[in-house]
Structure formats: C-alpha cells, structure tokens
Amino acid sequence: MGVLAGRTALVTGGSRGIGRGIAERLGRDGARVAVHYGSDEPAAKAAVDAIRAAGGSAFALRAELGAPGDADELWREFDRHAEGLDILVNNAGIGTSRPFEEIDEAEYDRVFAVNVKAPHFITQLGATRLRDGGRIVNISSGLARTAMMPDKMAYAMTKGALDIFTRDLAKVLGPRGITVNTVAPGIIDTDNNADWLRSSDEAWAQASAISALGRVGTPADVADVVAFLASDEGRWVTGHWMDATGGSLT
C-alpha cells in the first residue's frame, strides 16, 4: 500500500515532461491519477500505460486549456471517471514566450490564458470536488524570482502571478485543511527543452553550470518534491514557494 493509497490526483499537462514525471510518481505512491492532456493523445495514453504497468491506476482526460470554457470541459471529463479529488497539480502551461520587443497581444493573451487563467478557474471549480485535507500544488518556475532569462519576460510574469495565487489561496482554503504550495523547477531535461539543451555539449555544460549541484534537473527531481507536498508528511507546509532549481538561484 502506497502512502497515497485511496486518493485521487489530477495532474494537468500530465502526459509529458515534468507533468508525466509527477503523474508517474503519484501513481507509484498509490494515488489514482487523472492524466490531463491538451492535444497529444498518444503521449497521454503512454503515460497512463506506464502508471498501470508499474502497478498503479490512471486514466486520461482531454481539455484544451486557454479556450473559453476550458475548466468546465476538464471537470466534465473528470466527473465521468471519478467522484471527488484529493490532490490537484496545476502543471500545464506554455513554457516560453517571445522577447519583450517581439511579443504581440495575441501571444501575450494566450500565455496568460493558459498559465494563469486556466489554473485559477480549474482550481475554483475543483475546490467543490476537493476533499477536506486535500493538496494543491502549482508548478511555477525559478524565472519568477530571477532575471536569468529576460527574453522570456511574459512567461516569467505568468509564473509570478501563479505564485501570488498560491500564497493567497492557502489562506482561503486553509480552514478546510487544504494545503496550497508552489514548486519552482529550474532547467529540466524534457522534450520541450531538447532543441537547445541537447544542441551541443557546450549547451549542456552551460545549463549544468547554472545549478549549484552542477547538473541539469530531471522530471523525477521535481516529482519527488511534489510527492512530499502531496503526502501526509507535507501537512504543515502551505502557502510556500519551494525552490526546486537545484540551487540555480543561489
């Protein structure tokens, strides 16, 4: 029996990258995991299959975030498979943005719609399904606390907004025993970053040097932090911004 046995988790953007790492870890810990995806159904199926192959329970659900009614669509799909929720991980997001001089209104609005508006209303509607004593974990970024990559300004701004959401929501839901925390990754080896991370040995070495630990992070590095916050051991941590950058901000 895993530490999350009998609990149900939803991981948005759970089919790839950090989200998949989180989904698989929560599945190994015993949770039944709803793997949300936006368009890549084969990737979502692969994530569900991996969780089941490891002895866990999972199902996939689709909803395009950033579109009108996205939160309603997501929860309609969720309700077809499960009754009630214990762990919500707001992970899905657009991972970059064009520089200040180049970004237009359409891209700006899209980044904020997916990275800020969607988590807000997914959580608002999900709060009625979230059982007392539940967990909410929002996936932010180290870029919300540093100007290391100022060319991704709009993206970093969305993560700053998500951090404020975490802080204030912890007060709103605290009376129900629900904890709300942020986990902020640094540079992580995912398919989203592969084009530049793996473009050369030099690029990989430069990325590794940013971390105090001298390496590029993995989805599992982030997933393990989320798993702690989702567990009973994380019960006294709420409203917290958890640095999971491997010391990249030191």
Q: Which residues are catalytically annotated?
A: 155
Angle (deg, nearest 10), helices 153-173 and 105-112 = 30
In the structure encoding, which two tokens stand for residue 131, read together?
């059982």
25 contacts: CB under 8 Å, gap ≥ 6: 220, 223, 224, 226, 227
Question: Residue 202 corresponds to which amino acid?
Answer: E
Q: Angle at the Cα of 173 (from 220 to 225), degrees rounded to 5?
A: 10
What is the rounded distance in angstroms from the CA atom of residue 165 to the CA atom of residue 167? 6
CA distance readout (Å), 53 to 18, 32, 49, 59, 82: 19, 13, 6, 13, 21
- Output the six-digit token pair for 148: 């290391």
Q: Hey, which residues does 137 pair with through a beta bridge?
A: 89, 181
Contacts of 62 (CB under 8 A, 6+ apart): 36, 37, 38, 39, 41, 44, 77
